[in-house]
Structure 1
Amino acid sequence: MKRKEKFFKRNGGFLLQQEVSSNDGSVEKTKLFNSEELEKATDHYIKDRILGQGGQGTVYKGMLSDGKIVAVKRSKVVDEGKVEQFINEVVILSQINHRNIVKLLGCCLETDVPLLVYKFVPNGTLFQHIHDPNEEFPLLWDMRFRIAREVAGALSYLHYAASIPIYHRDIKSTNILLDEKYKAKVSDFGTSRSVAVNQTHLTTLVQGTFGYLDPECFQSSQFTDKSDVYSFGVVIVEILTGQKPISSTRSQESRSLVKHFMESMEENHLLEILDPRILKEGRREEMIAVAYLARRCLNLNGKKRPTMKDVLVELEGIRMSQGGPTIHQNYEEVEYNTTDLTEAWDVASTSTETF
């Protein structure tokens, strides 16, 4: 009992209680699981149950005593900064209720490292489906378009409809899970931050994954809602091209997918870099319209990027128009300086992939 109490305190139990009491009821009561229950559910965290590993922890598949399948995220470290990040994820996810955002079921704070328990999302990540495709179930254009629209809806909700505006700060294809019907579920809120309604940006240490990171944020250390828009733009380009954001197989000059994409757009070679798997399906007008939208999301000047609400409306408009005359609105000039982006890439690439 004393050991569990010690872990509860060290893992931020009192911080969580404080956050819950200071949120005036906007945070739902989080279910606290006991350690034995989760050990049994994951078969003592054996390797066979590992679903994935990231910078913040390892995720295991588990089955609770009532038969419910869950994903248990086990944090890697317990230093003070990480504990705060962990409690932050609990608090933020407790405020969120959206069909395209992964559902938090509860947490466990009485173990040596803190644990989060989510509803299990069975069909892997968007990254896996794009870059390591299942030949029996290829990710066709219709499905890719729907996933893009669902992620845009989730981000629009976080920015505008959540009880407090939330910036995700690490949007990437590995953080987009697919459920049994291949619907998108945005996950991993460890670096997310909620902001006051009248607040326009966060001044922060640069966090995020290189290749998806807003160069403006990298240079100014100011994270805005438009930084999530930039990262979403990278995901859209990934969906369109089937290529990774940073690739050693491309030439040194085109190692950054964003740079490669922007140059192809400028030189009118877009069709040459689209994923052949979706290009053969037709719907080129739709793909081109989505590419122009991605281009605007990737504007180096954050103020000139659309909001996530605008992006969602435009994606819905593209689908409804089905290649009609409204599809070519918003083909405006985009500020894009190859040198700036290359410099940002050179500086960042000397560090690790995840900041």
Structure 2
Amino acid sequence: MGVFVFSLLLMMPLAAPPAKIALGNCESTCGGVDIPYPFGTSYGCHRRGFRVTCDRTHRPPKLFLQSNGPEVLEISVRNATVRVRAVVWSFAAAGSNASDVVKVTVLPSNLRPYALSAARNALVVVGCGFQLQAAARPTTTTRTPFGSCAPSCPAAEPSGLRHGRRECDGVGCCQAPIPAGITSSFHVNLSWLDRNATAAPPPPSWVAPGARMVTVEKEWWSHRRNALAAKMSLLLSSARGADGLVIPAVLDWALNASSCAAAAKRSDFGCVSKNSECVNSTSSAAAGYVCRCNDGYDGNPYLPGGCQDPRMRLAPGVFLSMGVGIGMCLLLLVLAAIYAIKRLRARKVKKVREYFFKQNRGLLLQQLVDKDIAERMIFKREELEKATAKFDEARILGGGGHGTVYKGILLNQHVVAIKKSKFVIQKEIDEFINEVAILSQINHRNVVKLFGCCLRDRVYEFIPNGTLYAHLHVGGSQRSLPWKDRLRIAFEVADSLAYLHSAASISIVHRDTKTSNILLDDRLTAKVSDFGASRGIAVDQSSVTTGIQGTHGYMDPEYCYTARLTDKSDVYSYGVMLVELLTRKKPSMYMSPEGASLVVHFTMLLNQDKLYDILDEQVIEEGEDEV
């Protein structure tokens, strides 16, 4: 729901204001009446003859045709009409044999190009005891009036008059059509019917004296409520304007006094909008033309781009707006989906981390002797991410199937090695816990120091020079590790194993002593590492039964056969490492011509006093008598 509301808010700026109806910055409204072009209130804002005046002395302001025309109620570009406030004419009762010939001025004579709309107006007369004839000019025997009617009035007001269904049924009211072409005025011949009286017959008590006449919009008059109100107001009141009742009349208008064909050749041709057409005027206005939008379009054809598809009401168009809006909605839905997926993944990761944390931390607290040490050794994940620049590949020092080692810099600027494990089975989790538990109890210069851990990651001291294996087994013509360094490293590893077997709080069997688990610092000092397979043996025990674990070529054959792990298993692996230092042969890969392993072949040559056949030439050269 929030996404939908937000998308609607995003779409709101796309909705353009209503299409402009006036030129440029011209005034487009007055007192609530729209002023569409070709109409306008100031120079440059209207076509010739279409000036209107906004009289702001009224409250609210009122709009008038030109400066002396009637009040404007509405302007329609589509119908080419102007609704104006109609004038009510009053006629006083005359004497016997009396008749009145009155010129009724509808519009000022200079008001062009407007005319009373014959199709939209009617002539309505209210009163009693007279006959009315209306003609374009004073009636004679040769001129036929365009309208004639004689309303009657009974002495008593007819019942239901004020609530009747018929608007102008001849009782106190009659109406006549209006011809086309009345642009300024017409004449009315009003004849009183009682010619024998010395004065006009008195009207019934329920009718005001005299007669009233108005040209009125037929659609407005035919509305029962409007008609009854206007009829009763005119019958009962002699005030001009029908007691303030606003009665509308409709004027037709057209452009120029020429046809479309002629107007199209002129520079001031009015139909400037695309999707518009010119139509010769058939209204009661003076000859000319009007512009209309093509079928399927509406708007103002007198303005460039004024005719628009009604489905394109929003600029730059409803389709564009809808497209952008739908695109926004889809984008928001996609983003919401991505966000939800990330949240679910994050929640899943969090649960996994909580599981590992509870499991690992619980096992740590069970296996560590000092609980305070355990608390201090727990690193936050954020600390390790910051130390490794979010485990950037540029920080990778090495790795294997069980994890990747990164170089890290802690907040105290201490350089460390961070091993990020790849747990796949419970066995590896157990190895992780086992290594942390063992290393937390060891403090020896030749054993790599563990600073702490975080869930599945371990933080060690940083050993910059790689492994003994890499320094020993160099390629090509490059010289390997010097004899003196090999000898010293052998003593350092022996010292660390002796410490693990006897000097630590419990006897610790490394179980995977080999050259690739011996790290060298910048002074080539040995550091025994990788205690994942290590096991502790209580002081009152000499061995433990366990699963076979280690590296082929280094493992004690008796341990492989019996599964009984003792400190002698490390001694055997250490002996294999010594053979590797002397021969520079790889125990896990070596095979003699007879198919023997490195240890078997070395022992055989030693017994045959042919040891020089397998020793490393660099050892023979540098060791001399020591060898």
Task: Check 1:13–1:271 CA distance in 2 against 1; reply closer, same or farther (3 A cut).
Answer: farther
Which residue does 2:504 correspond to in 1? 162
| Greater fraction of residues in helix | 1
Runs of 4+ in 1 over 4 A off after TM superposition: 1-5, 21-24, 133-138
Which residue does 1:180 correspond to in 2? 522
Q: How does 1:9-48 map to 2 (within 5 A)?
A: 9-11=354-356, 13-20=358-365, 23-25=368-370, 28-29=373-374, 30-48=376-394
What TM-score do you get using the length of structure 2 for normalisation? Answer: 0.42
- Would you say 1:56 and 2:402 are equivalent positions? yes
Give the residue type in structure 1 aligned to 2:373: E
Map Cα deviations across residues 36-61 of structure 1 (whole Å, 9 max, x no partner): 22223223333333322234322122
Give the residue type in structure 1 aligned to 2:563: S
- CA shift at 1:262, angstroms? 1.1
Task: Tell me the secondary structure at the aligned position of residue 407 of structure 2.
Answer: strand
Residues matched between the structures, number: 281
Task: Check 1:203–1:237 CA distance in 2 against 1; reply closer, same or farther (3 A cut).
Answer: same
Task: Check 1:26–1:232 CA distance in 2 against 1; reply closer, same or farther (3 A cut).
Answer: farther
Q: How does 1:332-347 map to 2 (within 5 A)?
A: none
- Of residues 599, 602, 619, the one that matches 1:261 is 602
For the residues of structure 2 that align with 1:198 and 1:26, how far apart are their CA atoms? 24
- CA shift at 1:138, angstroms? 4.3
Map Cα deviations across residues 15-40 of structure 1 (whole Å, 9 max, x no partner): 43454356542883342222222223
Give the residue type in structure 1 aligned to 2:438: I
Give the residue type in structure 2 aligned to 1:257: L
Specify which structure has the bigger relative contact order, considering alpha-carbon pairs within 8 angstroms and separated by 6 or more residues.
1
What TM-score do you get using the length of structure 1 for normalisation? Answer: 0.73
Task: Check 1:274–1:65 CA distance in 2 against 1; reply closer, same or farther (3 A cut).
Answer: same
* Structure 1 contact 158–167 (Cα < 8 Å) conserved: yes
Task: Tell me the secondary structure at the aligned position of residue 28 of structure 1.
Answer: helix
**Structure 1 unaligned residues grouped into runs of 5+:** 288-355
Task: Tell me the secondary structure at the aligned position of residue 588 of structure 2.
Answer: coil
Task: Check 1:145–1:4 CA distance in 2 against 1; reply closer, same or farther (3 A cut).
Answer: same
* Structure 2 contact 363–433 (Cα < 8 Å) conserved: no
- Of residues 47, 64, 77, the one that matches 2:423 is 77
* Structure 2 contact 368–440 (Cα < 8 Å) conserved: no
* Structure 1 contact 16–91 (Cα < 8 Å) conserved: no
Give the residue type in structure 2 aligned to 1:251: P
Task: Check 1:21–1:223 CA distance in 2 against 1; reply closer, same or farther (3 A cut).
Answer: closer
For the residues of structure 2 that align with 1:53 and 1:264, how far apart are their CA atoms? 37
- Would you say 1:106 and 2:443 are equivalent positions? no
For the residues of structure 1 that align with 2:385 and 2:591, how far apart are their CA atoms? 42
- CA shift at 1:79, angstroms? 2.7
Which residue does 1:272 correspond to in 2? 613
Q: How does 1:291-306 map to 2 (within 5 A)?
A: none
For the residues of structure 2 that align with 1:18 and 1:37, how far apart are their CA atoms? 22
Task: Check 1:73–1:280 CA distance in 2 against 1; reply closer, same or farther (3 A cut).
Answer: same
For the residues of structure 1 that align with 2:368 and 2:378, how far apart are their CA atoms? 18
- What value does the CA root-mean-square deviation take over the aligned residues? 2.4
* Structure 2 contact 379–452 (Cα < 8 Å) conserved: yes
Which residue does 2:297 correspond to in 1? none
Which residue does 2:295 correspond to in 1? none
- CA shift at 1:9, angstroms? 3.9
For the residues of structure 1 that align with 2:512 and 2:587, how far apart are their CA atoms? 14
Map Cα deviations across residues 316-338 of structure 1 (whole Å, 9 max, x no partner): xxxxxxxxxxxxxxxxxxxxxxx
Larger Rg: 2
